[in-house]
Amino acid sequence: MKIPFNKPCVTGKEVEYIQQVLNNNHISGNGEFTEKCHKFISAQIGSNRALLTHSCTAALEMAAMLADLKPGDEVIMPSYTFVSTANAFVLRGAIPVFVDIRPDTLNMDETKIEAAITPKTKAIVPVHYAGVGCEMDVILAIAGKYNLLVIEDAAQAFMSTYKGKALGGFGCLATVSFHETKNIISGEGGVLLINHDRFIERAEIIWEKGTNRSQFFRGQVDKYTWIDLGSSHLPSEIIAAFLFAQLEEAEFITKTRLRIWSYYHSALEDLEYAGIIRRPIIPEYCQHNAHMYYILLPDLKTRIELIKYLRELDILAVFHYIPLHSSPAGMKYGCSRDELIFTTNLSERILRLPLFLSISDSELQEVIDAIYKFFK
């Protein structure tokens, strides 16, 4: 494609840091760059502990293990999310309970949560769609009332805030993605954020294949052994080195993406005023990270035709998730106590536009001109 949907960005120091890893003769995980990433991310989010993982999926699976879920337990989440959000909990035998999304932010509708709670409910998993914060004050209040865990899926939300506090810092546990489609990347990668000390020791054990290896290297035990469930969740030092180069430029990357987002937002204003599309809505108390720019079209037919039209012009625009509640696995493993009207409707109308760090103003204008031409 002349204008692809995404291009992974490189900040300039990735190769230099990877060479340092090779010179240090330590390529496997949990080395110097892993620790640098842990400190940076913990400070940015305000978390008690951060643990790099080879994917956000792995971080979610660790969170599900730390939640100590039993078969039949229920976890409340939106249906409009990536499969990993649900899969992590299904693997522990839990049942995803899907609730509808809000028509403004496309985040989980906090007013629907309480009606979905039963004696089997153990956790709430808010997903910060497009890097825009869910209503965390309300969600935390509900969780406190019913003694439920809050596990944030902040896959898209690194460098975003809700009422001045970093997303990923609200729940007892949270996860972030560094997949190449995200703002800050390492190819594949993620991080588990631990915001309550009671989870730290077991998280390290699960992270290190079920052993107390981290305690051994800190000199807290004289040998390490298998003491709990776990898996190989660590990324290599090469991945951590690449990620650290990105983290150092996180503010610049975010500011640049926000400028691109604003370019789209301003240029497409007339189409919204004409009632043809709807632009993203950002609550005033949320600072997003410009993870994506999307438009909501009148219907599914229009989306199909616009995608085809843009492809003919060598521009790649994409839609997002098939709602989990309507997927084969979602119907098998999950349930809903709601009609999920907005989830179904908005998922058929959303279109994500190309947004990456190196996209030029002329390329942005080409996308915008094509959209206007399509509707004229």
- What one-character-per-residue DSSP string does 190-240 give? EEEEE-SGGGHHHHHHHHBTTB-HHHHHTTSSSS--B-S---B-PPPHHHH
What are the residues whose beta carbons fall under 8 Å from the beta carbon of 86, sequence distance 6 or more? 77, 96, 324, 329, 330, 333, 334
**Taking the CA atoms of the chain, what radius of gyration do you get in angstroms?**
21
82 in Cβ contact with 102 (< 8 Å): no
Q: What is the 3-state secondary structure (H, E, C) of 265-300?
A: HHHCHHHHHCCCCECCCCCCCEECCCCCCEEECCCH
| CA 260 to the chain's CA centroid | 20
Q: Which amino acid is at 263?
A: Y
- The pLDDT value recorded for residue 190 is 98
pLDDT for residue 217 is more than 80: no
CATH 3.90.1150.10: does it fit domain 250-375? Answer: yes
For 196, other C-beta atoms within 10 Å of its C-beta total 14
Distance CA(179)–CA(24), nearest Å, equals 26
67 in Cβ contact with 123 (< 8 Å): yes
Domain with CATH 3.40.640.10 in the chain: 14-248
pLDDT for residue 116 is more than 90: yes
Distance CA(140)–CA(138), nearest Å, equals 6
Closest CA to 92 of 17, 34, 149, 21: 149
Query: pLDDT confidence of 4, banded at 50, 70, 90?
Result: very high
Query: pLDDT confidence of 266, banded at 50, 70, 90?
Result: very high
Which stretch of 88-102, 128-142, 214-228, 241-255 has the lowest confidence by average pLDDT?
214-228
pTM of the model: 0.96
Instruction: Calculate ∠ Cα 355-361-364, nearest 5°.
Output: 45
φ, ψ of residue 232 in degrees (nearest 5): -90, 90
Closest CA to 152 of 347, 97, 240, 135: 135
Query: pLDDT confidence of 218, banded at 50, 70, 90?
Result: confident
Domain with CATH 3.90.1150.10 in the chain: 250-375
- The pLDDT value recorded for residue 88 is 98
Q: What average pLDDT does the segment 29-35 reach?
A: 95
62 in Cβ contact with 233 (< 8 Å): yes
Closest CA to 74 of 142, 133, 37, 121: 121
**What is the torsion angle, in degrees rounded to the nearest 10, for the CA atoms of residue 65, residue 67, residue 73 and residue 74?**
-110
What would the CATH number be for the domain defined by 14-248? 3.40.640.10
Query: pLDDT confidence of 219, banded at 50, 70, 90?
Result: confident
Average pLDDT over the chain reads 97
Distances in Å between the Cα of 272 and the Cα atoms of 265, 305, 316, 372 are 10, 19, 22, 11
Q: What is the pLDDT of residues 136-150, one digit of tens each?
A: 999 999 999 999 999
138 in Cβ contact with 166 (< 8 Å): no
Closest CA to 34 of 250, 246, 248, 234: 234
218 in Cβ contact with 204 (< 8 Å): no
- The pLDDT value recorded for residue 346 is 98
- The pLDDT value recorded for residue 271 is 98
Q: What average pLDDT does the segment 94-122 reach?
A: 98
- The pLDDT value recorded for residue 216 is 79
